[in-house]
């Protein structure tokens, strides 16, 4: 097991043409904008909509799970080091490392960041805190059929054995999900939700904290951040509908990357097998979605 996962960085293959991930080595980065807002509500409480809203209010960038899952997969190496420091007691991860990972961001939200409430509040004591929330039962039902499914997706695990981006992201997602939800989201998810919100409320002074529910619109958010209310509709993104198909679409694109790399390297047979596997997954996935 490596001492630091971030030192295991490898460049994106030139054959990764079916996905559009960036390839930024955060070890070369530092803080370039102030961290202004920590959004510490769990994922599936409107964090994607909040990300778009904060960007509209000028907080660029706002870090989200999508930042690592579909935008810059090498970030997963930093998150792995942070998770190991927190849950395994391996190494350390402090303000310097947070600035390398999040230094281009004025705010951060969603998982895996929410696993680091204490660490982020201590690293950025000047930042305000937004706590997005919703009914725990509806949250659990939504998360069970989206992110919990993705964290345990056998197809993603398979793709991760060969694809550059999936190989970085899948191990980190699995480690985060397993540790944060104590090995069983279905069993422990609701209690973890309740405990998480209690921990944030106990840690953050009321004057620095805004509890926010989607549907409240711009006013409470803008009042809290002391910015003007935009003359446009509040964003509404990342509905549950289509989540699974979007993830399967990314799996297929990553398998195409693998097939092309195998073909270029000279493994024509391997490329044919991988392409056939991808086609079969697509076929049976559509039949399952259609109810056949």
| Residues 259 and 252 sit within 8 Å (Cβ to Cβ) | no
- Average of per-residue pLDDT across 150-161: 97
Q: In terms of C-beta density within 10 A (0-12 exposed, 13-18 middle, 19 or more buried), how is residue 179 classed? A: middle
- Average of per-residue pLDDT across 188-198: 98
The full set of domain ranges for the chain reads: 5-240
Percentage of the residues of the chain whose pLDDT score is greater than 90: 87
226-243 residue pLDDT tens: 999 999 999 988 677 789
- The span from the CA of 266 to the CA of 262, in Å, is 6
**Is residue 248 scored above 80 in pLDDT?**
yes
Reported confidence tier of residue 267, pLDDT bands at 50, 70, 90: low
DSSP code at position 206: G
**Is residue 289 scored above 70 in pLDDT?**
no
Tokens of 56: 């509209």
Question: Which pLDDT does position 150 carry in this prediction?
Answer: 97
Helix and strand numbers (H, E) in the chain are 13, 5
- Mean pLDDT (the chain) is 91
Q: What is the pTM of this model?
A: 0.89
Handedness of CA 132, 137, 138, 143 (dihedral sign): positive
- The span from the CA of 289 to the CA of 292, in Å, is 8
The CATH class, in words, for 5-240 is alpha beta
**Is residue 200 scored above 50 in pLDDT?**
yes
5-53 residue pLDDT tens: 999 999 999 999 999 999 999 999 999 999 999 999 999 999 999 999 9
Look at residues 34, 41, 35 and name the one whose alpha carbon lies nearest to residue 204: 41
Question: Which pLDDT does position 288 carry in this prediction?
Answer: 34
- C-beta neighbour count of 292 within 10 angstroms: 7
């Amino acid at each position: 097991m490596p001492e630091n996962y971030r030192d295991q960085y490898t460049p994106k293959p030139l054959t990764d043409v079916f996905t559009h991930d960036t390839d930024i080595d955060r070890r070369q980065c530092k803080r370039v904008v102030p961290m202004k807002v920590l959004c510490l509500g769990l994922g599936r409480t409107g964090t994607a909509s909040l990300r778009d809203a904060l960007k509209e209010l000028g907080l660029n960038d706002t870090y989200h799970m999508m930042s690592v899952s579909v935008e810059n997969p090498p970030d997963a190496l930093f998150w792995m080091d942070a998770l190991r420091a927190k849950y395994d007691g391996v190494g350390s991860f402090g303000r310097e490392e947070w600035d390398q990972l999040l230094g281009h961001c004025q705010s951060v939200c969603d998982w895996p960041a929410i696993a680091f409430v204490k660490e982020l509040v201590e690293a950025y004591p000047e930042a305000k805190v937004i706590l997005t929330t919703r009914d725990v039962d509806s949250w659990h039902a939504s998360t069970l059929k989206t992110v919990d499914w993705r964290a345990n997706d056998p197809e993603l695990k398979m793709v991760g054995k060969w694809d550059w981006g999936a190989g970085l992201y899948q191990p980190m997602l699995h480690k985060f999900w397993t540790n944060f939800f104590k090995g069983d989201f279905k069993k422990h998810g609701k209690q973890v939700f309740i405990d998480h919100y209690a921990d944030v409320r106990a840690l953050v002074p009321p004057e620095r904290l805004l509890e926010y529910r989607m549907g409240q619109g711009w006013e409470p958010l803008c009042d809290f951040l002391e910015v003007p209310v935009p003359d446009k509709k509040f964003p509404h993104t990342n509905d549950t509908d289509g989540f699974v198909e979007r993830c399967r679409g990314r799996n297929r694109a990553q398998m195409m990357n693998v097939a092309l790399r195998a073909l270029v390297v000279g493994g024509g047979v391997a490329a044919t097998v991988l392409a056939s596997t991808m086609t079969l997954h697509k076929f049976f996935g559509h039949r399952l979605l259609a109810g056949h």
